[in-house]
Amino acid sequence: MTVSQELGVWDWGVFSGVLLLTFAVVVIGNIRQRKLEHSGGREGFLDLLLMGRRLTLPLFTGTLVATWYGGIIGVTEYAHSYGLYSWLTQGVFWYGAYLIFAFFLVGRIRRTEAVTMPDLLEKEFGKSAGTWGAAMNLMNVLPVVYLVSLGVFLQQLFGGPHLLWMFVGLGIVVTYSVIGGFRSVVLSDLVQFGVMCSAVALVIVFSVSTYGGIGWLKASPEIPASHWNPLGEGIPWSATLVWGLVAAGTLVDPNFYHRCLAARDVKTARKGILCATLVWVGFDFCTTFGAFYARAVLPEVPGKEAYLHYGVHVLPAGLKGWFLAGFLATILSTLDSYLFLSGTIVSYDLVPDRLKGNRNLHHVGTILIGLAAIGVAVLTQANESTTLNLAEIWKILGGFSTATLLLPLLIGFCLPKKIPGAVFVSSSATGAVFMAGFYLLRKLHENPDEHPILQLDAFYAGVAGTLCVLILAWGWLRLRPRSE
């Protein structure tokens, strides 16, 4: 049964109204963008990419929250399977990373006046570091999880093949994310921010009033006792720690950098991250316990679909449509930002200087990255034996960027001009090779889970490779003056 069969006229009206409002603000952004195009050159392109560095606190907070929480299907699937452990791995670790970013990195980032994160790497470490960083950023912003999520949502709403709905969703998002530039993305994010936050809150309010609170959940036979252990049960510490390291990927996430570089000033960016963190804590509470209720009330529904079906099940007419609009908003707000940023990296960081500022290249890059994401999605969801849950895809794609960029970038920030571009690139590339090699070894080994080394996450291999080269380079640079 599709979700649409449970909707009435009021639900469709509310759902359609929110979508129309979203598209209306995109049109407003496009009109504003057209008025500014007469400036041309770098200034016009800067407005396209960064909204002229004029993000105010409400706009900054809204777009950051909306952009960062697109994996609602993956997060609720993880909570459905692991309970409170998911709040540790998908929430608590990340809050620490947000605070580090706000207090220690925002000022350094904003002072560079860079346009993108790879542009910042080029300014700090040289041209080769910027190009390599752009390649790793593209892997990080490849929106596989969000296209899969959008396809699942539309399939559950209307029926039909998942692949078809991924293509339809990609076409819609590409269209509205390129016509008005970053301004349209920000304005649509603001609408989606309000809808998505209120939608998940409504699910909790009606769940408690309909069934009961924590006591009712604890009494449910469908929720195992292990779900109440925030550290998980039977999960090795190495698997938990790797999520903490992946969360540290926030410190090298291009979307965080992009928002900070678009903010009006350092103070706006820092306050915005702190405000966003408070919102994320509340949002995580709602989605985690919403997944608990979904498991308790609809145990027959698979984890990937359970929260969506439960929200429609528990809410009254009219609010079902609002919930679906909020659910869709969490996906769209991240997908459009990832696609827009991927087009920015292609058109600004991976082309010769004479081609920078070409908006047609921006559009082409956005489309190509979207198609590449669908290709990866098909490979990872091809059959039951190879299917990865969305959180795992998330960890693999984000893991490469984090494991290879985090250490050289942070050391470079702490010791300005002490890491040559060649060291930055060689250490990061070595980490990527180590990580890819580890995945290959696990694939080729007959019983990888029985081998003590191969039981570890590939992320550790990436960090080890990066760290080895950095240590060797440090030793060589210290010894070099003595030999001269």
Query: In this prediction, what percent of the chain has a pLDDT beyond 90?
Result: 42
CATH code of the domain in which 132 resides = 1.20.1730.10
Domain count for the chain: 1
User: What rounded mean pLDDT belongs to the chain?
Assistant: 86
Helix (H, G, I), strand (E, B) or coil at 81: helix
In single-letter form, the type of residue at position 443 comes to K
Residue-level pLDDT at 481: 53
Residue 142 has pLDDT above 50, yes or no: yes
Residue 386 has pLDDT above 50, yes or no: no
CA separation for the pair 87, 399 (Å, rounded): 19
Residue 384 has pLDDT above 60, yes or no: no
Helix (H, G, I), strand (E, B) or coil at 454: coil
Contact 142, 369 (CB under 8 A): yes
Crossing angle of the two packed helices 390-414 and 144-158, in degrees rounded to 10: 150
Name which of 246, 284, 253 is nearest 101 in CA terms: 253
Specify if 314 maps to a domain.
yes
Specify if 470 maps to a domain.
no
294 or 146: whose pLDDT is higher? 294
Residue-level pLDDT at 379: 79
Residue-level pLDDT at 44: 64
In single-letter form, the type of residue at position 413 comes to F
At residue 473 the predicted structure's pLDDT band, cuts being 50, 70 and 90, is confident
- Stretch 25-38: mean pLDDT, rounded? 69
C-alpha distances in angstroms, 165 versus 7, 45, 188, 276? 20, 32, 21, 31
Specify if 40 maps to a domain.
yes
pLDDT one-digit tens code per residue, 434-455: 999 988 888 787 777 666 777 7
pLDDT one-digit tens code per residue, 42-91: 556 677 788 889 899 999 999 999 988 777 888 899 899 999 999 999 89
The boundaries of the domain holding residue 367 are: 3-388
Contact 249, 399 (CB under 8 A): yes
pLDDT one-digit tens code per residue, 245-301: 888 889 999 999 999 999 999 999 999 999 999 999 999 999 999 999 999 999 999
Which of 28-42, 55-69, 103-117, 219-233 has the least mean pLDDT?
28-42
Specify if 18 maps to a domain.
yes
- Tokens at residue 190, please? 């603001």
Contacts of 184 (CB under 8 A, 6+ apart): 25, 26, 28, 29, 30, 33, 176, 177
Residue-level pLDDT at 172: 85
DSSP assignment of 285-304, as one string? HHHHHHHHHHHHH-TTS-HH
CA separation for the pair 266, 160 (Å, rounded): 47
pLDDT one-digit tens code per residue, 318-352: 899 999 999 888 888 888 888 888 888 988 898 88
DSSP assignment of 218-253, as one string? HH-TTS-GGGG-TT-SS--HHHHHHHHHHHGGGGG-
Name which of 217, 242, 237 is nearest 228 in CA terms: 217
At residue 193 the predicted structure's pLDDT band, cuts being 50, 70 and 90, is very high
CA separation for the pair 288, 100 (Å, rounded): 24
- Stretch 9-36: mean pLDDT, rounded? 81
Residue 410 has pLDDT above 80, yes or no: yes
Residue 381 has pLDDT above 70, yes or no: no
- Stretch 13-17: mean pLDDT, rounded? 91
Specify if 104 maps to a domain.
yes
Residue-level pLDDT at 109: 92
C-alpha distances in angstroms, 287 versus 92, 106, 279, 292, 484? 14, 29, 12, 9, 61
Residue-level pLDDT at 62: 94
Residue-level pLDDT at 69: 78
C-alpha distances in angstroms, 52 versus 32, 57, 305, 361? 12, 15, 40, 20
C-alpha distances in angstroms, 40 versus 37, 258, 452? 5, 21, 59
To the nearest 10°, the Cα dihedral for 218, 223, 225, 230?
-90
Residue-level pLDDT at 167: 92
Specify if 482 maps to a domain.
no
C-alpha distances in angstroms, 366 versus 23, 131, 353? 19, 18, 19
Residue 169 has pLDDT above 80, yes or no: yes
Tell me the whole-structure pTM to 2 decimals: 0.85
In single-letter form, the type of residue at position 462 comes to G
Specify if 466 maps to a domain.
no
Rg of the chain on CA atoms, in Å: 22
Residue-level pLDDT at 484: 44
In single-letter form, the type of residue at position 311 comes to G
Specify if 413 maps to a domain.
no
137 or 386: whose pLDDT is higher? 137
CA separation for the pair 72, 332 (Å, rounded): 11
Residue-level pLDDT at 196: 92
CA separation for the pair 426, 440 (Å, rounded): 21
